[in-house]
Structure 1
Amino acid sequence: MKVTMTLSRYMARTYVMNMLFLLFALLGVIYLFDTVELIRRASKSDSVPLGLVLQMGLLKLPEVGQILFPFAVLFSAMLTFWQFNRHSELVVLRSSGFSVWQFLMPVVAVALCVGFLQVGVVNPVGSLLVEKYERLEKEYLEKQDSQIALFKEGLWLRQSTDGHILEGEDDVQKGYVILHARKVKPPHWGLSQVSVFYFGQNDAFRMRVDAKSASLEPGRWVFQDVAIHRPGFMKISKPETVLPTTLTIEDIEESFSSAETVAFWALPGHIETLEQTGFDASRLRVYFHSLLSQPLFFVAMVLLAASVSIRPPRMGGGLMLFAVGVFIGFVVFFVSSYLQALGSSNQIPPILAAWSPSIVCFLYGVSAMIHLEDG
């Protein structure tokens, strides 16, 4: 029993060290290229300091890291088993009566724990950092000042006012508006029960516009059946009024489809809110179930790595192993992305799209291990 525990700790420690090495190496390369790209984009503006660019590169790393995690799990497992095989440690273990499952379990346990850690800790923290990155990107690189939020009470939107709303209201032109709609009707973005609050400089309230309905047209919001309320003035009714805007339907839909900015624990509530408001939450459902399947997916990556790494070593085995690993990673990534795209477009159920790669890879890995053990 003591020998088994010592062996398990040794194999788990080796695997963890290899995984950390590969993960940080990949993140370092990605950070370098992302920072260079951010510097290029920031060079078009004089108001973006270098320190902010470096900070934005770091804020973006968790999003990239979650994409790289399966590859790090796969390649580090292949490297670990290849090292054991190269030093004949696996041969010694097999000749000592250890089954393939006994020396596989420590690595599988580490992969399972990493999967739970990635879903429960890394993803929520990463979503906060990515949200901050996107906010800085819009403010400094894309020069967008519009903010959009969706709650159970409806849609909230904030934007600056770049055109005359009412004659003589020059102060409003330099301020901002907050738009609230209780009901939204995609895909053409018809709003109902709309209230628009106009603010001038120094957050001074200027007026409120209530509209029965509104629609987003190129370059403007159009409000129908309007009632205008201004402090110190009587209510003014109009059949229609407009609000200039730079927003497009694509901008608004993209702000809701960015699943990476929503933490794992907040996804169920966010999905419910989207569906109650009338939006299609298929993409978020696929993303949620793909996160749920991550622990099983990581275990499957270890089994796939073992199926090609614990065979007897041959000449040129390292290069061949690397080629096989790249091929497996590419195929799994391509198939997973394709199925998730099908699920997001409602061509297949979201659960099937998210769980199929994990289950298929797991079953294949188990069958390969059984065949290897019997052989």
Structure 2
Amino acid sequence: MKVTMTLSRYMARTYVMNMLFLLFALLGVIYLFDTVELVRRASKSDSVPLGLVLQMGLLKLPEVGQILFPFAVLFSAMLTFWQFNRHSELVVLRSSGFSVWQFLMPVVAVALCVGFLQVGVINPVGSLLVEKYERLEKEYLDKQDSQIALFKEGLWLRQSTDGHILEDDDDVQKGYVILHARKVKPPHWGLSQVSVFYFGQNDVFRMRADAKSASLEPGRWVFEDVAIHRSGSVKISKPEMVLPTTLTIEDIEESFSSAETVPFWALPAHIETLEQTGFDASRLRVYFHSLLSQPLFFVAMVLLAASVSIRPPRMGGGLMLFAVGVFIGFVVFFVSSYLQALGSSNQIPPILAAWSPAIVCFLYGVSAMIHLEDG
């Protein structure tokens, strides 16, 4: 027997409403706690208005929302099937000759569409909002003197400087420098083909230094084989030049680890740029493939929810169902995070790390539904 369009719309609408309810409820709780934390951090400064804090809390929500999406898909599917079971609607459907797969299809179709929507629309928009949040955070809450950017032309870095550039020079003080390197050699951060541009106060250009190589040591950059150019003076060659810095290797690596600020459609080009410059893009590859696997992963969550929800209702079934859902969500989240960590550290291939949770959950859900249908 074929499922009618009216029945499909009813089941899909019920599932969508439950998903939106759970998602907004979870986001509301997260927003409350995040805003309280932002207010605490903003209280240390008199220049941060409350309206900006509330706006920053909203800008941060998409990042958390994308983490919560699989849980919303899972729990809303469990709630939907539990409601159908409680009202004996599934019993009526089964007795009317409908198979499990037939009345699962509307919910599966919604989960699949939500997965594609999350990858193609929600993630790019969320990335822009998270990027704006991080920019406001650095400007108002975590004021930093260093800025780092990566392009196809290489690494660009800006930092403030208060000391003398040269030991016998009193001209340049309290300005900033812009460092550019064509190539980067992790993990010890050896730079090659380096140019350093020195600016004084009011953005006045002072001098340029070209170095064959540079390395980041604790508290300083060390440049080797340096040629210093200043307007109106002869080029100065030095075997070594030192630039004090507060940057560490961890600071630079973390600046490129925020994959959440890169939209899905821009990830392939960003990964290529990282690898051309010499960076390890394994974490971004894992993130990219995990986004690609989201539609399948959401479908798998529906199948897992159905495997524990489409059963005859029993006394205390609601509480037991909630406990099982929490357990499944915890296991899936823990295993997914663990595999992604292995993929990011190159212990397993990034594709395997990203796709394994979705494929395993999907196959388990299918086998459970086949067993339930035969039983």
- TM interval, shorter chain, is over 0.9
Question: Relative to structure 1, is the Cα distance of residues 317 and 21 closer, same or farther in structure 2, using a 3 angstrom cutoff?
Answer: same
Q: Decide whether the 8 Å contact of 2:3 with 2:98 is kept in 1.
A: no
What is the CA-CA distance between 1:290 and the residue it aligns to? 0.6
Distance in 2 of aligned mates of 1:335 and 1:238 = 53
CA distance in 2, matches of 1:146, 1:120: 33
Equivalent pair of 2:161/2:175 in contact (CA under 8 Å): yes
Query: 2:55 & 2:235 partners in 1: Cα distance?
Result: 49
Structure 1 residues 208-217 or 299-308, which shifts more? Answer: 208-217
Kept after mapping to 2: 8 A contact 1:162/1:245: no
User: Hey, what's the Cα distance between the residues in 2 that align with 1:155 and 1:63?
Assistant: 26
Question: Does structure 2 retain, via aligned residues, the 8 Å contact 1:18–1:79?
Answer: yes
Contact 1:81 1:309 in 2 (8 A): yes
What is the rounded CA distance, in whole Å, between the counterparts of 2:7 and 2:309 in structure 1?
Answer: 19
Partner in structure 1 of residue 365 of structure 2:
365
8 Å contact from structure 2 (residues 286, 351) kept in 1: yes
Identity, % of aligned pairs? 96
Whole-Å Cα distance in 2 between the matches of residues 172 and 114 of structure 1? 56
Of 22-31 and 212-221, the range deviating more from structure 2: 212-221
TM-score w.r.t. the length of structure 2 is 0.96
**In 1, distance between residues paired with 2:96 and 2:170?**
86
The answer on whether the counterparts of 1:35 and 1:53 sit within 8 Å (CA) in structure 2 is yes
Shift of 1:169: 6.6
Query: What do residues 182-213 of structure 1 show as CA deviations (whole Å, max 9, x unaligned)?
Result: 11111111111111111222222111111111
What is the CA-CA distance between 1:230 and the residue it aligns to?
Answer: 1.4
Q: In 1, distance between residues paired with 2:366 and 2:145?
A: 52
Name the SS for the 2:242 alignment partner. Answer: strand
Q: Are the counterparts in 1 of residues 219 and 244 from structure 2 also a CA contact under 8 Å?
A: yes
Report the CA distance shift for 1:54/1:172 in structure 2 as closer, same or farther (over 3 A): farther
Q: For 1:294 and 1:202, how far apart are their aligned partners in 2?
A: 49
CA contact (8 A) 2:289 2:354 kept: yes
Q: Per-residue CA shift, 1:137-194, capped at 9, x if unaligned?
A: 2222222131111122111111122322246876743322111001111111111111
- Give the aligned CA root-mean-square deviation in angstroms: 1.6
**Shift, 1:64, TM fit:** 0.3
TM-score (norm 1): 0.96
Range with bigger deviation, 190-199 or 162-171: 162-171
> How has the CA–CA distance of structure 1 residues 211 and 291 changed in structure 2, closer, same or farther, with 3 Å as cutoff?
same
121-130 or 295-304: which moved more?
A: 121-130
Residues 2, 102 of structure 2: 8 Å contact kept? no
Bigger shift: 237-246 or 32-41? 237-246
- What is the 5 A alignment of 1:46-57? 46-57=46-57
Q: Distance in 1 between matches of 2:345 and 2:296?
A: 24
Q: Quick check: 266-275 or 362-371, which moved more?
A: 266-275
Partner Cα distance (1:19, 1:173) in 2: 58
Further displaced range: 27-36 or 276-285: 276-285
Q: Give, in whole Å, the separation in 2 of the partners of 1:128 and 1:161.
A: 31
Provide structure 1 residue ranges, at least 5 long, that are not aligned to the other structure. Answer: none
Q: Is the 8 A contact 2:343 2:349 kept in 1?
A: yes
* Deviation by residue 1:323-360 (Cα, 9 ceiling, x = unmatched): 11000000000111111111111111111111111011
Q: Deviations over 1:193-252 (max 9, x none)?
A: 111111222222111111111111112111111111112222222222222211110000
SS at match of 1:241: strand
Unaligned runs of 5+ in 2: none
With over 3 angstroms needed to count, the CA separation of the structure-2 counterparts of 1:276 and 1:318, relative to structure 1, is same
- How many pairs were matched up? 375
Per the alignment, residue 100 of structure 2 pairs with 100
